[in-house]
Amino acid sequence: MSRLRWFRLLVLLLAALPGLAAGLPSPLTATSDKPLTVHFLDVGQGDAALVISPTGKTVLIDGGPPEARERLNKRLRELVNGPLDLVILTHPHLDHLGGLAQTLRTLGARRFMDPGFDHPSEAYRDLLDVVGDTVGQVMNPEPNPSSPNGLLTIGLGEGVSLSVLWPRAPKEPFLVGTRSDANSNSIVAKLTYGRTSFLLVGDAEPDTEGMLLKKGLDLSTTVLKVAHHGGRHSSTAAFLAAAKPQAAVISCGAKNDYGHPAPETLERLGAVGAHVLRTDRDGEVVAASDGHTVTLRTHGGDGAMVVVSGGQGLAPSVAVPAATPDTKRPGPGPRQSRDDTGGASSRGGSEGQERYIGLKGSKVFHRETCSTLKRSKSERTVYSNREAALRERRPSEDCHP
C-alpha cells in the first residue's frame, strides 16, 4: 500500500507520459477514417466498458463483479493485443472492481487511475496491492499542475480526448455526507471524438449531478452510460435535460435483486428522447463513432441497432429494432447463497431487533423494509442483527442497512 501511494506522488505529471498529452487537436474535427469504439461489456450486475481509439489505444473503465471476471477477461483477450494503455476504476465498489485484479495480472496495464477516495473494502485493498505490483504508473484524476483550473484531459490520438469532470481532489474536496460517498465521488469522464461524445458517469449520485450542473460544465452528450445501473435516485430530470443524450446504455444483470433499471429512470430517459439499450436485455452493446454519427449494436448483430448524430442541429437519431423488446439475456452464473433449504433460515442475534434479509443467489443483505424484497420471490435468509449479516454478506446499496 505504501509503495502504491508513493507511486501516486511521483507520476501525476501527465504531460510527461508518452501518448497521453495535454495538447490536443480540436475536438470538432475527426482526423481518422477508423472509428472510435466503445464496448459496453455484458458483466451482469456491474459495469465494464472498453474504449478503443482510432489509433488503437485502449482504456478499460471498471471491471465488473467477481462472478463475471472469467467472462470479462475472455472478452478482453479477444479485443485487446498487449497491455491496456489505461485502466480506470470509477469507484471502489465490488461490482466495478471485481474483475480488475485478474485483468491486470493477465493482460497488464501501463497506467491505472482511480479517484483516490479511501474505502475500507478488503477487495479494494487487494486490488491496490496488485496495482502496485503490476502497473508502472498510477494517477489520481486531479488537474494537470500546469493548468490547475482546467480539466484533466487525456489525449488518445486522432482528435480523441478523455476529460475527467469529477472528482478534482485535492484541488476540490470530495463530496461527503451523501447517500453513498463512494458513489458520489465516482470518476465522471467525457469521451469526445469530432462532434460525438460519450458521458461515462460510474455510479454518480444526485449530489454529483447537482454539483456538475452548478459548475456549468458542458454535459451534452451523444451517448450516456447511465449511472448506477439505472437506479431510481440517479439520472435526475435536471441532469438529463443538460446531458440531452440521444442514446443511453444501462449496464445491469438480468433479474437482478435491485430492480434495476428502475421504471422512474426509464421514464426520465424516455422524456428526453434517449434510445435505451440494456446489457440485461441486449447483451454487450458496441458503439462506433466516425466523429459525426454513432452506431450502436448488440454484439454479434442479433439485437437492436441505433444510429445517432453528434453536434447541434444535425439529423435526429434513428432506431432500427431487430430484437423482441422482452428478450432476456442471462447474466453471469448464479451466485450461491449459504441457505439452500428451500425456505427462510434465521441467523444469529436476539428477537426484537431490526431484522435483515439476504436473498438466495445474492451477496448483499437488505433491511426487512427494503422495497427490493417486495419485488423478489427468491428464498430468504433472515438475520436477527446486522453483525450476523455482515459475517456472510455485504450491505445493499439501495437501502443501506
pLDDT digits (tens, 9 = 90+) for 291-329: 999 999 987 445 567 888 776 433 333 443 333 333 333
Strand positions, DSSP E, 234-393: 247-250, 275-278, 285-289, 293-298, 305-309, 318-320, 345-347, 356-359, 364-367, 380-383
List the single range of 33-47, 160-174, 226-240, 321-335 with lowest mean pLDDT.
321-335
Same domain, yes or no: 250 and 371? no
More confident residue, 330 or 109: 109
CB distance 182 to 116 below 8 Å? no
Provide the percentage of residues in the chain whose pLDDT is more than 70. Answer: 78
Segment (H or E) for 88? strand 86-88
Residue 26 confidence (pLDDT):
40
Same domain? For 311 and 368 the reply is: no
Q: What is the mean pLDDT of residues 33-62?
A: 96
Q: Which residues of 348-400 form beta strands (DSSP E)?
A: 356-359, 364-367, 380-383, 394-395
User: Which triple of cell numbers denotes residue 213?
Assistant: 450542473
- Give the separation between CA 140 and CA 198, rounded to whole angstroms: 21
Q: How far is CA 177 from CA 91, 204, 207, 309, in A?
A: 16, 14, 10, 39
pLDDT, tens digit (0-9, with 9 covering 90-100), for 114-142: 999 989 899 999 999 999 999 989 999 98
Query: Is the domain of 249 the same as that of 387?
Result: no
pLDDT higher for 282 or 332?
282
pLDDT value at 3 more than 80: no
* CATH code for the domain of 162: 3.60.15.10
Please give the model's pTM, rounded to 2 decimal places. Answer: 0.73
Residue of 276, 290, 244, 397 lying closest to 34 (CA atoms): 290
Same-domain pairing of 309 and 190? yes
Structural domain including 56 reads 2-320
CA distance 81 to 93: 27
**Is the Cβ–Cβ distance between 42 and 73 less than 8 Å?**
no
**Mean pLDDT of the region 255-267:** 95
The answer on 304 and 237 residing in a single domain is: yes
Report the pLDDT value the prediction gives residue 311, as an integer from 0 to 100: 65
User: Which of 323, 340, 258 shows the shortest CA–CA distance to 285?
Assistant: 323
pLDDT band at 6 (very low <50, low <70, confident <90, very high): very low
According to the model, what pLDDT value does residue 145 have? 80
According to the model, what pLDDT value does residue 308 have? 86
147 within a domain of the structure (yes/no): yes
Give the residue-averaged pLDDT of 220-234.
97
Task: Indicate whether 81 and 163 sit together in one domain.
Answer: yes
pLDDT one-digit tens code per residue, 74-107: 999 999 998 999 999 999 999 999 999 999 999 9
- pLDDT of amino acid 305: 73
Q: Is 401 part of a structural domain of the chain?
A: no
**Structure confidence at residue 265 as a pLDDT band (50, 70, 90):** very high
pLDDT at 19 over 80: no
Which neighbouring-strand residues pair with 252? none
Q: Is residue 338 part of a domain?
A: no
Closest by CA to 194, choosing from 151, 245, 160, is 160
Higher local confidence (pLDDT), 208 or 327 = 208
Please report the pLDDT score of residue 275 as a whole number: 95
Q: 261, 285, 320 — which closes off a domain?
A: 320
Q: Under DSSP, is residue 195 helix (H, G, I), strand (E, B) or coil?
A: coil
Check residues 360 and 19 and name the one with the higher pLDDT: 360
Q: What is the pLDDT of residues 155-201, one digit of tens each?
A: 999 999 999 999 998 889 999 999 999 999 999 999 999 999 999 99
**pLDDT (0 to 100) of residue 143:** 84
Q: Among 56-65, 97-106, 326-335, which is the least confidently predicted range?
A: 326-335
Q: What is the pLDDT of residue 376?
A: 65
Which residues 6+ apart lie within 8 Å of 312 measured at CB?
Answer: none
Structural domain count, the chain: 2
Statement to judge: residues 265 and 385 lie in one domain: no
